[in-house]
Amino acid sequence: GQQLNQSPQSMFIQEGEDVSMNCTSSSIFNTWLWYKQDPGEGPVLLIALYKAGELTSNGRLTAQFGITRKDSFLNISASIPSDVGIYFCAGQETSGSRLTFGEGTQLTVNP
Amino acid sequence: GAGVSQSPSNKVTEKGKDVELRCDPISGHTALYWYRQSLGQGLEFLIYFQGNSAPDKSGLPSDRFSAERTGGSVSTLTIQRTQQEDSAVYLCASSFVGLNPQQYFGPGTRLTVT
């Protein structure tokens, strides 16, 4: 089946630093999404990407949909303590279909 | 407005017992998804309901797992004869149908099989 490789698995950074995480896939997705999950809650959508090569920003977050349709990255600039959590990439083959998730990146931000 | 709700929030059961997990989707959302999240892992797709169409059951791990959606709204995920490897957080999501619909997730049910 489809698999998403997400890296790094964990990151420990100082407040104010920028971070970057990425996902690669063995197959093509037509939509890439990035979610954040806080403890005891479900994932919350941060950014959705619908076109190959698309670069989209949401505040301090920037994500790109790779031109091969097999990868995506997420950048967080000027990190703050509330950025702590687990970040997941997800791929979707067609609109409304199931999501295939990466294994997550645990982000820790030290004040 | 109300988001996706799930109940119970936590469930501890003995190996071999059956359990039912409930999902109340966002009103008006016709698509409903169940995922499973094991400790420290990403989410794994289980089953997908879309309106009156036959559900996509391709992610169910065994025939001990089943789900139904009554009246196009509430869904119940049933696990029969639970095993310890069924311990996980079970997450439900719902979405509308249209261009680029977003899946909204509930808080999940944490299932522990002892």
How does pLDDT run across A56-73, given as a tens digit for each residue?
A: 999 999 999 999 999 999
Q: Using an 8 Å CB-CB cutoff, list chain A residues near B45.
A: 98-100
Nearest to B45 among A43, A48, A98 (CB): A98
Q: Using an 8 Å CB-CB cutoff, list chain B residues near A34.
A: none
Alpha-carbon span A77 to B10, nearest angstrom: 36
Alpha-carbon span B81 to A31, nearest angstrom: 37
Nearest to A101 among B43, B107, B108 (CB): B43
Alpha-carbon span A54 to A83, nearest angstrom: 24
Please check the confidence at residue A75 and state whether its pLDDT lies above 80: yes
Q: Are B9 and B109 in contact, with CB atoms under 8 Å apart?
A: yes
Cβ separation of B45 and A104 shorter than 8 Å? no
Q: HSE on the CB side for A4, CA within 13 Å?
A: 34
Cβ separation of B93 and A50 shorter than 8 Å? no
Residue B27: CB atoms within 10 Å: 9
**φ and ψ at residue B83, rounded to 5 degrees:** -120, 160
The stretch B43-49 carries a mean pLDDT of 96
* pLDDT digit string, tens, across residues A9-65: 999 999 999 999 999 999 999 999 999 999 989 999 999 999 999 999 999 999 999
- The single residue listed with the structure tokens 């505040």 is A59
**E strands of B15-107, at which residues?**
19-24, 31-37, 43-50, 65-69, 75-79, 88-95, 104-105
Nearest Cα to A69, choosing from A2, A20, A18?
A2
For chain A positions 1-60, those within 8 Å of chain B (CB to CB) are 4, 6, 31, 40-45, 48, 50
**φ and ψ at residue A74, rounded to 5 degrees:** -130, 130
Cβ separation of A95 and B108 shorter than 8 Å? no
